[in-house]
């Protein structure tokens, strides 16, 4: 992935200078994934989650997050 800036420095995909090194990331509104706490993320799993939750509008930045995060 190019030019996705992120400051979550304890993520497996985080790289120096605050860049994300993941091939792709999944971002949704936080509320939309609450009913699906056990669903995995990453490539094919992302597609399943997206199909399950559909579009996920948010009303502010605080209601969105990266769900590709993986703790180091
Ligand atoms: S996967 Fe998400 S949390 Fe992790 S570095 Fe990339 S943008 Fe940040």
Locate the ligand 1 atom nearest the alpha carbon of residue 1 and give its number: 6
Q: For ligand 1, say whether the CB of 13 is within 6 Å of any of its atoms.
A: yes
What is the structure's pLDDT at 32? 84
Question: What pLDDT does 1 receive?
Answer: 55
Which string of DSSP letters, residue by residue, matches 15-68? ETTTEE--S---EEEHHHHTT-TT---STHHHHHHHHHH-----SSGGGEEES-
Calculate what percentage of the chain has a pLDDT beyond 90. Answer: 49
**pTM above the 0.85 mark?**
no
- Would you kindly state where each structural domain of the chain is located, as residue ranges? 14-66
- pLDDT tens per residue, range 8-43: 999 999 999 999 999 989 898 988 877 777 666 666
Measured in angstroms, how far is the CA atom of residue 69 from the centroid of ligand 1?
A: 5
* pLDDT of res. 42: 66
């Amino acid at each position: 992935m190019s030019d996705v800036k992120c400051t979550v420095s304890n993520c497996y995909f985080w790289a120096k200078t605050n860049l994300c090194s993941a091939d792709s990331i999944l971002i949704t509104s936080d509320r939309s994934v609450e009913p699906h706490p056990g669903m995995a993320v990453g490539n094919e799993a992302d597609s399943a989650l997206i199909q399950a939750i559909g579009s996920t509008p948010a009303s502010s930045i605080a209601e969105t997050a990266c769900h590709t995060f993986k703790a180091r």
